[in-house]
């Protein structure tokens, strides 16, 4: 296995490990668009990593993935629409939040979000089956890939939608920034009423979408231009559509990992940077790393180890102080409650007859 293939394996599986925490955080936040985006990039990262390990050898393979690649190549076709569509539903959700006067209900537009992020990519995949020039192709270190005839049909249904979704995403990101700039005071009051979405979380999601579309739109536009200029479009007829199952599966040599294989794990790592490195999770990760340094026998007696031990001791003392303050505040609340009850008995006149009758019932 070439070094680039080994590095890609580590890179892809590391991104999948990071995605577990992001998935848990978005499940708690009930953020369906972000969960749909996670679904597509996770499944693509897993497919690319497994296929890169299976077909890592540059020699002719003994197995060409019959059955397995029929499924994975079609998932890859769907993901080319599903990834930008999921990011687009996320920016639509943020746009609706910023233009609303009241907090949105969880999963309010879940039908539309699932239709756009899951059903629409599957429909595009089904429409592209007649345009397959091969059943699929197998590329060394890259795995199974779909292959299509260069037709106007392919241009409209496969290359154009990701570009339009990315362009629409940039438009909505710009509009949200405009609204946010002119309604900051109103939005601060709005976020105080919304228990599911805070101002920091909103800006984090908006910045994630902005980074995604700023990177994805030039890529999809480049692919669109290259496929328009570099190939002559074929005429679509019945004979062309009936050839796909007769063409054998081809194997191609390669010495590098293609760009589309890097996109899903990179998106996962970017999402992890945006979510895991925020707030308390950063502190938890830092404490975990410092504890590893302290347990390492070659480092714990060095200046780095002593610094790690100091950080852990400082964190423990801070937690102890916070616990003591919490206990003190609890005692203070109980004392205030007792004083309030005594004051109410002294200040509010009561009917002696009623007070004497009430305990008599329980004698």
Percentage of residues of the chain with pLDDT beyond 90: 26
Which of 180-189, 204-213, 322-331 ranks highest by mean pLDDT? 204-213
Q: CB under 8 Å to 181, separation ≥6 — which residues?
A: none
pLDDT tens string 131-175: 888 888 889 888 899 888 888 888 889 999 999 999 999 999 999
For position 38, what pLDDT does the model report?
93
Is the pLDDT at 100 greater than 80? The verdict is: no
Give counts: helices (H), strands (E), the chain: 14, 3
For position 50, what pLDDT does the model report?
92
For position 123, what pLDDT does the model report?
94
For residue 151, the cross-strand partners are 234
- Give the pLDDT mean for 92-118: 81
- Give the pLDDT mean for 17-32: 86
For position 118, what pLDDT does the model report?
94
For position 347, what pLDDT does the model report?
38
- Give the pLDDT mean for 281-301: 70
Work out the mean pLDDT of the chain and round it to a whole number.
77
pLDDT tens string 33-88: 999 999 999 999 999 999 988 888 777 778 888 889 889 999 999 999 999 999 99
Is the pLDDT at 343 greater than 90? The verdict is: no
- The better pLDDT of the pair 356, 221 is held by 221
For position 184, what pLDDT does the model report?
63
CATH 1.20.1070.10 occupies which residues in the chain? 3-278
Confidence category of residue 177, pLDDT binned at 50, 70, 90:
confident
SS (H, E, C) 290-341: HHHHHHCCCCCCCHHHHHHHHHHHHHHHHHHHHHHHHHHHHHHHHHHHHHHH
For position 344, what pLDDT does the model report?
43
Q: CB under 8 Å to 130, separation ≥6 — which residues?
A: 241, 244
For position 321, what pLDDT does the model report?
58
Percentage of residues of the chain with pLDDT beyond 70: 72
For position 203, what pLDDT does the model report?
77
Is the pLDDT at 236 greater than 70? The verdict is: no
SS3 content of the chain, % helix, strand, coil (to 5): 75, 5, 25
Q: What is the b/e burial string over 31-40, where b = at least 16 CB atoms within 10 angstroms of the residue's CB?
A: bbbbbbbbbb
Is the pLDDT at 114 greater than 90? The verdict is: yes
- Domain 3-278: CATH superfamily is Rhodopsin 7-helix transmembrane proteins (1.20.1070.10)
Task: Name residue, tokens 């900051």.
Answer: 184
For position 56, what pLDDT does the model report?
83
φ, ψ of residue 98 in degrees (nearest 5): -75, -20
For position 279, what pLDDT does the model report?
55
- Give the pLDDT mean for 288-296: 76
């Amino acid at each position: 296995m070439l070094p680039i293939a080994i590095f890609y394996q580590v890179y892809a599986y590391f991104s999948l490990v990071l995605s577990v925490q992001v998935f848990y955080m978005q499940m708690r936040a009930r953020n369906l668009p972000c969960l749909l985006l996670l679904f597509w990039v996770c499944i693509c990262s897993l497919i690319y990593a497994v296929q890169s390990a299976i077909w890592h050898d540059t020699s002719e393979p003994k197995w060409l993935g019959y059955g397995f690649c029929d499924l994975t190549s079609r998932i890859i076709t769907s993901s080319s629409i599903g990834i930008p569509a999921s990011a687009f539903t996320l920016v639509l959700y943020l746009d609706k939040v910023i233009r609303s006067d009241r907090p949105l209900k969880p999963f309010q537009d879940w039908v539309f979000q699932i239709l756009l992020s899951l059903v629409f990519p599957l429909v595009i995949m089904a429409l592209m089956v007649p345009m397959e020039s091969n059943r699929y192709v197998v590329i060394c270190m890259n795995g199974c890939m779909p292959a299509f005839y260069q037709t106007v049909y392919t241009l409209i249904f496969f290359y154009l939608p990701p570009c339009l979704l990315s362009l629409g995403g940039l438009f909505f990101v710009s509009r949200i920034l405009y609204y946010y700039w002119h309604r900051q005071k109103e939005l601060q009051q709005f976020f105080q009423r919304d228990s599911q979405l805070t101002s920091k979380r909103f800006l984090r999601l908006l910045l994630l979408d902005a980074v995604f579309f700023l990177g994805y739109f030039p890529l999809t536009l480049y692919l669109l231009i290259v496929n328009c200029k570099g190939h002559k479009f074929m005429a679509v007829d019945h004979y062309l559509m009936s050839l796909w199952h007769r063409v054998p599966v081809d194997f191609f040599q390669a010495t590098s990992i293609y760009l589309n294989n890097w996109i899903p794990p990179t998106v996962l790592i970017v999402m992890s940077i945006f979510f895991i490195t925020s707030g308390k999770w950063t502190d938890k990760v830092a404490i975990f790393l410092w504890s590893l340094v302290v347990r390492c026998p070659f480092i714990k007696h060095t200046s780095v180890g002593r610094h790690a031990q100091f950080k852990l001791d400082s964190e423990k003392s801070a937690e102890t102080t916070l616990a003591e303050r919490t206990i003190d505040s609890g005692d203070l609340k109980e004392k205030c409650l007792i004083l309030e009850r005594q004051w109410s008995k002294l200040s509010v006149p009561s009917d002696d007859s009623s007070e004497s009758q009430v305990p008599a019932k329980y004698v």
